[in-house]
Amino acid sequence: MIAIVDYGLGNIANLTNALNYLGYTVNVTNNIDELEAADQIILPGVGHFKDAMARLDDLDLVPELIRLKETKPFIGICLGMQLLFESSEEGDVKGLDFLPGVVKKMTCQLPVPHLGWNKLNADLPSLDEDVYFIHSYKVHTEENVVATAEYEDKVVAIVQKDNIIGIQFHPEKSGDKGLQILNQALKGGFNQ
């Protein structure tokens, strides 16, 4: 069973639809016992970084997530990935700090948000796909990077450190290829 952390942000309906389609059982919850009982944890999210951290704080979930990430596969998607890092310019607040790196506003000549289908650059052939991005902030890190995309500059698209995975794009909205990538993340990820 996969637990999707319910903290009031994120298009959880579509992530649930995608996981059900892939055959997984899903529990959307912020109950600590239920999170504890799950095999894997997904932290979703769209919206503001500061708002997201405040909601996690209000639900007393931050220490729980820190504990859960020690023992379970833990996947952050979109804003959920950004929350895994040290801090963000969006609201100028600290993140969960599971991974080294910071989140900054995208600055480029091309339109922001970075919205649409963009190709992943990765060593793994299974990641050589177009996927759907929609975000205005991006992660700056040199470590644990599995895949990037080009949008004037480099955009970190997938990170993995052991059991912790971050996915910047929306695998649940990236067609059949996106579902395959989501499934691969749930089956242990991208580090050979």
Partner 1 sequence: MIKKRIIPCLDVKDGVVVKGVQFKGLREIGDPVELAKRYNALGADELVFLDISATQTGNALMLDVIRKTARELFIPMTIGGGLKAISDISDVLNAGADKVSLNSAALRNPDLINETSEKFGAQCICIAIDAKWEEAEQDWFCYTHGGKQKTDIRTLDWVKEVEVRGAGELLVTSMDYDGMQQGFDHVLLSKIQDLVSIPVIASGGAGSAEDFVSLFLETNVSAGLAASIFHDEDVTIQSVKDLCDKKGVPVRHV
Least distance (Å) from partner 1 to the CB of residue 183?
A: 12
Torsion of CA 30, 63, 190, 150, to 10 degrees: 90
CB-nearer residue toward partner 1: 30 or 118: 118
CB-nearer residue toward partner 1: 62 or 175: 175
Which entry of 90, 114, 135, 172 is annotated as an active-site residue?
172
Residue 143 engages partner 1 in binding (rule: CB under 8 A): no
Asked if 172 is an active-site residue, the reply is yes
* CA nearest to 91, candidates 124, 135, 47: 47
Report the alpha-carbon distance of residue 164 to residue 55 in Å, rounded: 21
Which entry of 90, 114, 135, 170 is annotated as an active-site residue?
170
Strands (E), the chain: 2-5, 26-29, 40-43, 74-77, 87-88, 93-94, 102-105, 114-119, 121-122, 130-135, 137-140, 145-151, 153-161, 164-167
Q: Are 2 and 39 in contact (CB under 8 A)?
A: yes
Least distance (Å) from partner 1 to the CB of residue 71?
A: 30
Q: Binding string, 103-142, against partner 1, x = CB under 8 A?
A: -------xxxxxxxxxx----------x-x-xxx------
Asked if 170 is an active-site residue, the reply is yes
Asked if 108 is an active-site residue, the reply is no
* CA nearest to 182, candidates 132, 108, 113: 132
Residue 24 engages partner 1 in binding (rule: CB under 8 A): no
CB-nearer residue toward partner 1: 31 or 136: 136
Report the alpha-carbon distance of residue 20 to residue 181 in Å, rounded: 15
Write out the catalytic residue numbers: 78, 170, 172
**Which stretches of the chain bind partner 1, using CB under 8 A?**
11, 13-14, 17-18, 20-21, 46-48, 110-119, 130, 132, 134-136, 150-151, 170, 172-176, 178-179
